Structure 1
Amino acid sequence: MDAKDKIIDDEQKMIEEQIQSYSKKIDFYTSEYTIEILAQKVKDNEYTVPDYQREFTWDDIRRSKFIESILIGLPIPFVFFWLNEETGKLEIVDGSQRLRTIEEYLSNKLKLKGLDRLALLNGTHFKDLTIARQRKVLNRSIRGIILSENTDIEARIDLFERINTGSKAANPAEVRRGVLQGPFMDLINDLASLPLMNELAPVSIKQRKERESEELISRFFAYSDGLDDYKDDVSPFIFRYIKKMNDEFEAEPALANSYRMNFEQMLNFVNTNFPNGFKKTRNAKTTPRARFESMAIGSYLAIKTNPELTITEDQAEDILMSPGFLKETRSDGANAKRRLTGRINFIKDALLEI
């Protein structure tokens, strides 16, 4: 075997070891449930919907069309659960909107509307079906995938993002809020409610429900504490960081005051020196992530070096309107480590050179 073949063989062994190592983290089994049983368990609160599940946002038409799919026999996606070792209950990983819609329909709380294929059912409830049709609906089965209590937490986070099959996957900030509860996560949630944070970095109503402010703050702390272990893997990187910081805050509660002070000092600097805050324009209603990361972390690192730093409004405009800043904060490849460090260092260097 020549040197080139040996390198290829070694790489193949490493690939196989990586696959086997990750596969051992996943433990699950499948089960079949009738729609009648699923609805009854939802009604009896036998299933729990953790915080990382986004709010129930399906409107009546979307719920009606899901019921229409059941009635005409279209395939229904699997429902994913995780077995909570402490309570013995199944937590709904993906499928809460489907399960709650089923329960509402069978309880006659949902009146169908907006149907095309079964238009004659518009304005009707489950009780309006014939008894024979009701039985067919009740006896229809849906397959459940149950992740066991042995499935390690980081693997579950990965699975939450991969297997979510709703109209929109539960985003990482929602997931972390549910499974990474602790003193550091408490600080993130608290800072997200600061009036100055919401003024300088506004988010839409939809983004607020999806915890966008918490996502911005999580990135601020994770990136400003160092990117040595970052490998262009935003969600896993921030997950590992918050998990570690929860432990550190537990061991040393005084850290909370220090981190809060750093964040608020950064907010005050941006408020004083950048007229539009993190927004592109004065009346903007949302905050681009790349822009926030660049300005927030760059400003934080600059005032760490020079606590007395101030700039004029004209200087701020020159920085933010410069071709260099616009290039560094464009969206393509935004999470690559080179791009991330580039936009952070651009603001830091620009401020320190004034």
Structure 2
Amino acid sequence: MDETQKALADRLFPAVKPPEELELRNIPPEQRRLHTETADLTVSSIYQYLANGKLKIPEFQRGYVWTRMQASRLLESLIIQCPIPVVYFSQDTNNDLMVIDGNQRLLSIKLFMNDAFQLEGLTTYPELNGQSWSTLDPRFRDHILNRTLRCITILRDTHPQIKFDVFERLNTGSVQLNSQELRHGINFGYLIEQLDELTKNEKWKKAVGIRVDKRMKGAELVLRFFALRYSRANYTKPLSSFLDQFSSTHKAAAPATVTVWSEDFTSTVDRAEHALGKLTFRLFEEDLNTVTAFNSALYDAEMIAFSETNNQIIIDKRYDPIELRSKIAILLKDERFSNSIKRATSDETSVAYRISTFKNFLDGYTNGI
């Protein structure tokens, strides 16, 4: 094949790296079973659960996108007793339920019962077009309230990774949810809320190059720091499964603990930004010009090292940033370190090496030497 043609094709149609596979085979066989409970809940019961917070639609779910006509046709289906697709819930540790499939249907019902819209586009009962919940004949309202929906709940004693796998199988919408969006749904709690809050840090946003984050990439990077900072000894690839496990284990972490972690994150970002400025989390040459945009593997090394260093010179910022950057540029040229942030970056040896090497560099740094 002509090399020029091949080079052009490689640029126009680059190979897409497949997503990391869930390591379900690492789970003991007896823990791979899915524990579920099936119930037929009345519309009235579901509405009450949504109203009192017993049933939640987590933030990761795509916003309400149904048209008024789609929502109206759903209500008409309830009236004529047309079967409605199964709704799936996930049970949390405190027995609360999260909607993992069916949020558009449930939100449509809730909105109509809150008088948020009038029926339109009905074909079986066009006489009801223009009616809201409050103007609907009480007999129709009672009929809707007494209709039942088949609900399948994935119980809390299901292994988190199995629950995550099922979550992905149900994720069949036009826009597939990514790993972090799924984690937000399965493991929603104080830790997940703090991830979202920390992504608003302006220094950090500038360093990682995130301007508009619609798919929770920032939250995943914050989670990545927490997981490697506080559970690095348990790291095994793939990274995605490691993050799943960490967020599951710590979803109910005490607010005081998460607050300490958050303060650590904020101070670490400040240290890294002071030391490297616009070069933070980027590869650069000895002339201090960047050669790449944000590098997530280098992010691991720098964040953990600046967080864990015991060098008081670094902690107190008693150094010349330009001199420090020049020394870091030399480290970035080291072949083994360079490989650890460019190739097979999720391998256990690569993760351990790049973090320990950068930390050792900071720990041993001395002004003017």
Paired residue secondary structure (1:58) = coil
User: C-alpha distance in 2, partners of 1:156/1:273?
Assistant: 40
CA distance in 2, matches of 1:99, 1:169: 20
Partner secondary structure for residue 109 of structure 1: coil
Alignment of 1:43-122 (within 5 A): 44-45=51-52, 47-49=54-56, 52-54=58-60, 57-59=63-65, 61=67, 64-68=69-73, 71=76, 76-83=84-91, 86=94, 90-111=97-118
Structural RMSD (CA) = 5.5
Shift of 1:79: 1.6
SS at match of 1:64: helix
Aligned residue number for residue 194 of structure 1:
201
In the TM superposition, 1:293-304 aligns within 5 A as 293-300=296-303
Distance in 2, matches of 1:251 and 1:85, equals 19
Distance 1:59 1:232, change over 3 A: same
CA distance in 1, matches of 2:93, 2:28: 28
Residues 301 and 99 of structure 1: CA distance in aligned 2, closer, same or farther (over 3 Å): closer
Q: How far off is 1:47 after superposition?
A: 3.4
Distance 1:64 1:272, change over 3 A: same
Judged with a 3 Å threshold, the aligned counterparts in structure 2 of structure 1 residues 219 and 146 are, in CA distance, closer, same or farther, namely same
CA distance in 2, matches of 1:108, 1:220: 45
Amino acid across the alignment from 2:32 = Y
Note the C-alpha offset of 1:144: 0.0
Query: C-alpha separation between the residues in 1 aligned to 2:98 and 2:205?
Result: 32
TM-score by length of structure 2 reads 0.56
Q: Percent identity?
A: 17
Partner SS state of residue 142, structure 1: strand
Q: Secondary structure at the match of 1:81?
A: strand
> Aligned to 1:147, which of 142, 149, 154?
154
Contact 2:90 2:154 in 1 (8 A): yes
Alignment partner, residue 30 of structure 1: 38
Calculate the TM-score normalised by the size of structure 1.
Answer: 0.58
**Separation in 2, partners of 1:16, 1:229:** 13
- C-alpha distance 310-252 of structure 1, shift in aligned 2 (>3 A): same
Show the counterpart of 2:288.
none
Matched to 2:87, the amino acid is V
Query: Whole-Å Cα distance in 2 between the matches of residues 64 and 79 of structure 1?
Result: 21
In structure 2, the residue matched to 1:19 is 29
Match of 2:219 among 209, 214, 237: 214
Displacement of 1:32? 1.7
Deviation digits for residues 278-335 of structure 1 (CA, Å, limit 9, x no counterpart)? 79xxxxxxxx9x94413422444777699666447xx79x99xxxx99x949xxxx98
Secondary structure at the aligned position of 1:230 is classed as: coil
User: Which of the numbers 259, 264, 273 marks the counterpart of 2:279?
Assistant: 273
- Give the Cα–Cα distance (whole angstroms) in 2 for the partners of residues 271 and 116 of structure 1: 60
Which residue type is aligned with residue 46 of structure 2? Answer: L
Structure 2 distance, partners of 1:245, 1:45, is: 22
State the one-letter code of the partner of 2:110.
E
Please state how far the C-alpha of 1:125 moved relative to its aligned partner.
Answer: 4.0
**Quick one: structure 1 residues 268 and 238, their matched pair in 2 at CA, closer, same or farther if it must change by over 3 Å?**
farther
Report if aligned partners of 1:187, 1:260 keep a CA contact under 8 Å in 2.
no
Deviation at 1:174, TM superposition (A): 4.9
Residues 80, 246 of structure 1: CA spacing in aligned structure 2 closer, same or farther, 3 A cutoff?
Answer: closer
Cα separation, partners in 2 of 1:106 and 1:248, compared to 1, 3 Å: closer
- Report the equivalent of 1:9: none
Counterpart of 1:239? 244
Q: Does 1:124 align with 2:124?
A: no
| Matches for 1:168-187 after TM superposition, within 5 Å | 168=175, 171-174=178-181, 176=183, 179=187, 181=189
Looking at structure 2, the residues matched to 48 and 155 of structure 1 have their Cα atoms a distance apart, in angstroms, of: 21
Pick closer, same or farther for the CA change 1:341–1:149 going to 2, 3 Å.
closer
Distance (whole Å) between structure 2 residues aligned to residue 105 and residue 145 of structure 1:
24
Question: Can you give the 5+ residue segments of structure 1 that lack an aligned partner in the other structure?
Answer: 1-14, 280-287
Write the distance in 2 (CA, Å) between the matches of 1:245 and 1:30: 25
Q: Secondary structure at the match of 1:143?
A: strand
One-letter amino acid of the counterpart of residue 30, structure 2? Q
Equivalent position of 2:14 in the other structure: none
Q: CA deviation at 1:22?
A: 1.6
Which one of 252, 262, 266 corresponds to residue 268 of structure 2?
262
Q: Deviations over 1:239-260 (max 9, x none)?
A: 3334369869978987765554
**Equivalent residue for 1:284?**
none
